[in-house]
Amino acid sequence: MGPALTARRLISKLCLVVAVTVMATVGVSLTWTAIGGGPLGVHGLIALSLGVLGTVAMTWTLMALAFKSSREGWDDRPADPDKP
């Protein structure tokens, strides 16, 4: 597995995150308009997009840390509970 394959994976994951952000932004914007909240301006869409992107990025990072912790054994109980 060379650096080109790793770069492709990173680009594909980033494209997935951007696609999820766009779909969520469009969905929330349409829902907001449907319930009578009025049209969102450019600044509202930018704020909404950044909020969704930040939430997706934080979720992705925390899940990656949870899987890394599980793989490396940080979640296992110690052999001797009296030792820190």
Among 26-30, 44-48, 61-65, 76-80, name the one with the lowest average pLDDT: 76-80
Cβ-Cβ contacts under 8 Å for 48 (sequence gap 6 or more): 25, 28, 29, 40
* pLDDT of 40: 79
Quick check: 17 and 57 in contact, CB under 8 A? yes
**3-state percent helix, strand, coil for the chain, nearest multiple of 5:** 75, 0, 25
Could you tell me the pTM of the whole model?
Answer: 0.58
